[in-house]
Amino acid sequence: MPHQRLLDSNPEGADIDGVHTDINNQLLAPVLLASYMPADFKGIVLNTTIRPVNNFINATSNTLPTRILELIKPDTVSTEAGRAKYKHYQQLGYELTHFKV
């Protein structure tokens, strides 16, 4: 799957590691790997951390994910972290759907 990594040194997302942008400065890869979300991001987020996605969003960045996907491992620690994230998203008013895989 085409992807690119945003460098951690620039949370605004201007520095791209090894992948080019088009003439409108749009990223060419459909998947971004990062420890933050770039300004004005409007895509789907796959969160692999124990923190809720909202903890990564700067209040002034205009970032609004269209969908947040959380993968929860079936161990006790991950399950508890997943429940905490679920409650956090619920308090923020997100529409939540749970799929047991």
93: pLDDT strictly greater than 50: yes
What mean pLDDT comes out for the span 8-16?
Answer: 47
- Report the pLDDT value the prediction gives residue 63, as an integer from 0 to 100: 80
Number of H helices, E strands in the chain: 1, 5
Query: Which tens digits make up the pLDDT trace of 43-81?
Result: 888 888 888 888 877 766 778 888 889 989 889 999 999
Predicted structure pTM score: 0.69
Strands 3-6 and 16-17 come out as antiparallel
Strands (E), the chain: 3-6, 16-17, 31-33, 44-47, 67-70
